[in-house]
Amino acid sequence: FSQESEDLDWNLLKPDIYATIMDFFASGLPVVTDEAPRTDTAASEEDDEVVLMIKELLDTRIRPTVQEDGGDVIYKGFEDGIVQLKLQGSCTSCPSSIITLKNGIQNMLQFYIPEVEGVEQVVDDDDDVEKEANST
């Protein structure tokens, strides 16, 4: 690349980049949130390479997509080829949550990580109590 071609590329990109940044600031959304960092996908010493890849995919590809629909996905574990996840927010009551889990999340994990044989939803005891309270 020459300096001229690099400048030309930048001149084409700059207006779109600037417009995107300005649209975000005009939206009034916070630039930084007070939200605590995610701990479920933080790397730990016990994690092997497969678990680290699963956690990275959850953070970079899967979680942002699920959050766009008002939900979230929490990593609970990886055992015998099965990734254990907890769905939160709108994903818990959404009738298509199993489809999201199997078709979306499982397919993506299996595409990038051959060791993943499946995905299962984990439901905490707290979730059962909450569902019972909402149904009465």
Single-letter amino acid, residue 127:
D
- CA 47, 53, 54, 60 torsion-angle sign: positive
Single-letter amino acid, residue 133:
A
Non-local (6+) Cβ contacts of 42 within 8 A are 55
What pLDDT score does 85 carry? 93
Among 84, 86, 79, 73, residue whose Cα is nearest residue 123: 86
Domain ranges of the chain: 49-135
In 23-81, beta strands by DSSP E: 71-79
The pLDDT mean for the chain works out to 79
CATH of domain 49-135: 3.30.300.130
pLDDT at 128 over 90: no
- What predicted TM-score, i.e. pTM, was given to this entire model? 0.62
pLDDT digits (tens, 9 = 90+) for 64-79: 888 887 888 999 999 9
